[in-house]
Structure 1
């Protein structure tokens, strides 16, 4: 078994672990800081909306030209009086986007642009995009996002519980806010690819969160029947049990996206790849973070407010204090209703950290049930 696989098995059995839930205030603080930075960036810099969302014209040369991208951009901006974006195409041609102009203006600058590019007018195709088209697409995207959020909350509330639904919703909003904020700070153009990327990361972020929630639901099924562990400790155990899986899934997903962003977009200069790959890259990373550091700790926070869980925590702490006074270890404090039997394997594994050396690798002490 590989080292990572061995670590995953030890995390699942509870032989090692990290107390994510106990340090949740740290993760909340980090997320709040990142989110505020994203919101400030969005408010100060704003989004660099593509031509699909603000209207304009697209001029595409149907044959190669010796004119450089810089010269074409300067010429287009001088002729039109508006901002222009130029991309080099694979056939040696150019794609020139001029924002904020209508059909009449596009017809007027068509000929002048052809002279600057040293091409016949019929070798430059002109397409005008109205802002209403982009507004319609944006409205449909927001509508779809709202419906998606409502359905997610309803499903999770039914399949799991309302606390998990709220935590998943907070994690999704967290991921979207950070992704949009990074877009504003970096200054990448918001296109149709960006919208597709944003909608795609929702599914991934939700999947990673639900995997942890499913394990937590199973582990806490008979939680009230035992007095060894609090809900937060069970939540942390479930989180550690899926940690390696989450890391593996995230790395495998990020590698091809990183290739699109840094190789396809950076070295090859493919602008559309930048638009969708940046959204995917930031969203996937934020989704992995939120599923580990936000969603599960938030569920534990909400659950610990329940009177039954408060009473359970008091019983657990009282039993531990009593056992400590008698000089007993945690491994001596088992009871018949321990919901961790299935997860811990030998029933003696601790929730975080290695087991005491005296019991490591052995089964339950004879006579203790």
Structure 2
């Protein structure tokens, strides 16, 4: 097959490209230039949007012996990922930009261009496994290394995208990937993993949003209030600085009567109100979601002992019953309560290790105390 290997400049994508070439595929490496000004994104070892990363990817391609190109997708990345991130926070929601990048950039813009250029598949360094099911469809399963599993952020991929994807590392523990990289002579063998959000240079999401959103209405300033009494406990300079479940950085001037910490329970961006209360008020028994993306056949109901939902990239699985209404609305009954779930987050549905699909959370039902 003709394979396009997306090379971020990290160890995982380098080994994935090497494995694809060793398997006999005709491999071409590409690095995605996602920042219109690389110096404004990450620096050093913090992320995947730097000039150093592009150079690391090029050197890895040279060692592997494959052609290498840089594709400038900075305008589309800014429109589809960065602007979406800002809009979601401005609306009081909590998005996952990595998931959005996979949906709209790596497995949409890149894959579409790859197919148009005559490539058969795109290979990445993501940790997930692909198998052919009994119905002939391509199934995506969790990675063998549970600690590195990235199936959650890939839950937006549909059948057509999965059919043209390769995840060469899905069956391998991360430590073994580093050992392999060293054996292959790849200089990125010891390069630290990227963390946080690639386009937030210092990892300070709230500070970055404050700078970018500025005085954008209706998020400039408001009250932090007690959810039970309505008492004003403090002021803030933008709801974009908060997410449901947050404990730190609230700067409340009035302690709770029982001395226990308070958590963000609700965000009302129009009024600019942030509601806080005790941890137990964060418990959620059900949720509503829209914009579903299915990896295969669209289900009507998902239920059974193996059906779970994951609500954060590195969060726990929760047993659940999932109902799909009119093809575009999803209701999830959580058989095990979750905590601190925010609109804008992705709910990814599993049947055992198989990823069934995902949807974007629009509302939650709190457990009645």
Q: Same fold by TM-score, threshold 0.5 exceeded?
A: no
Q: Higher helix proportion, which one?
A: 1
Q: Which has the higher contact order (CA 8 A, sep 6+)?
A: 1
The TM-score, its normalising length taken from structure 2, stands at: 0.30
The TM-score, its normalising length taken from structure 1, stands at: 0.30
Q: Higher strand proportion, which one?
A: 2
Q: Which structure's CA Rg is the greater one?
A: 1
